[in-house]
Amino acid sequence: MKRKTALLATALAAILQPFAITTTPAADTWPTRPVRFIVPYPPGGTTDLVARGIADKLSTRYGQQFVVDNRGGASTVIGADLMAKSAPDGYTIGLITQTTMSINPHTVKKLPYDTVRDLAPVTQVVYFPYVIAAHPSMPFSTLKDMIAHAKAKPGTLTYGTPGTASTNHLGGALLENLAGIKLLHVPFKGAGPAMNAVLGGQVNLIITGAATVLPHAQAGRTKIIAFAAEKRHPNWPDIPSTGEAGLGNYEAGTWFGIVTRSGTPRAVIGNLNREIVNAVTHTDLKERLTKVGFDVRTQSPEAFGKYMADDRALMAKIIKTADIKLD
């Protein structure tokens, strides 16, 4: 009986040996060929700037090309679907945003993938902070006075955004909720048209990136009311924060991160995490990113997964309270 058992164990080991040889070293030697880097936005935007900066650093570090593949459309669903249906081998990674992971699950009726089940977190890379800005003709220059104006004339102050259910829209909805005011949301097809509408006086307010607004504020074409955070930002110390103006627990902005297909070997994910964190925190890329308004933020894969779960719950609460729906 013992002899039969030993023979069976030997035979089983012989069958499994090829698999043991081919799977473990694959994680250790990855990558041995180019890696596809999906960006679910069109070329030329802020997401492209971040992705291409990281891709360049990773290509140099690994000696293999990380090829940026822009697949914009459908509020990032097209690109995210490609990520979710890729092979779990580390040869497809993707840049995702708060829209992809925290907002779409609550606003898109039938996502063709599950963000938690199909996408594995690698690390957050940047946070893009927002400011509240107004057309110069508005009769207020502080957050306190803006809130007083909105309460005196509910529903008359307009704010422009890149679209319904955008992070800018949710920033406005949260502002309404915390300040106890009613604003009129005006969605546009993109951040550029929304900014132009404020500059032209077609809408009164905008909640968008500080780096986007600052040149216009310096030229007198708009005025910044407050930085959308608890404390002043070190890059813009002259801009008062919403927290110091008495609006606690308010933060508006958006974050970008890196994911890959669920089931990708843990060693590959850990390898990617280490090199991406190094690229955005210890190279010239950090300076380039902060110069255009990003805050560099990184985490372990586990911490990033927890961060996204908490953020998804917060976005769900804001969306439900404001009754936000995509058309």
Let me know whether 123 and 258 are in one domain. yes
Give the Cβ contact number of residue 214 at 10 Å: 18
pLDDT of residue 243: 95
Query: Which residues have CB under 8 Å from 130's CB, separation 6+?
Result: 167, 168, 171, 207, 208, 209, 210, 228, 252, 253, 254
Q: Domain tally for the chain?
A: 2
User: What CATH number does residue 214 fall under?
Assistant: 3.40.190.10
Identify whether the C-beta of residue 276 lies closer than 8 Å to the C-beta of residue 123: yes
- 232 domain-assigned: no
What are the 10-residue block averages of pLDDT along the chain, 327 residues in total?
46 43 57 97 89 98 97 94 97 97 94 97 96 97 97 96 93 95 94 93 94 92 95 90 92 96 97 97 94 93 98 94 81
- Tokens 């030697």 label which residue? 29
- 101 domain-assigned: yes
Let me know whether 223 and 133 are in one domain. yes
Q: Which segments of the chain are extended strands (E)?
A: 35-39, 66-70, 92-97, 119-134, 158-161, 184-187, 205-209, 223-227, 253-261, 295-296
SS3 of 61, please?
A: helix
Displacement of CA 137 from its chain's centroid (Å)? 33
- 283 domain-assigned: yes
pTM reported for the whole predicted model: 0.85
Q: Name the amino acid, one letter, at 133.
A: A
Beta bridge mates, 206: 133, 160
pLDDT of residue 9: 45
Displacement of CA 114 from its chain's centroid (Å)? 17
Domain that includes residue 275, residue range: 34-127+254-322
What does residue 223 show for φ and ψ, rounded to 5 degrees?
-135, 135
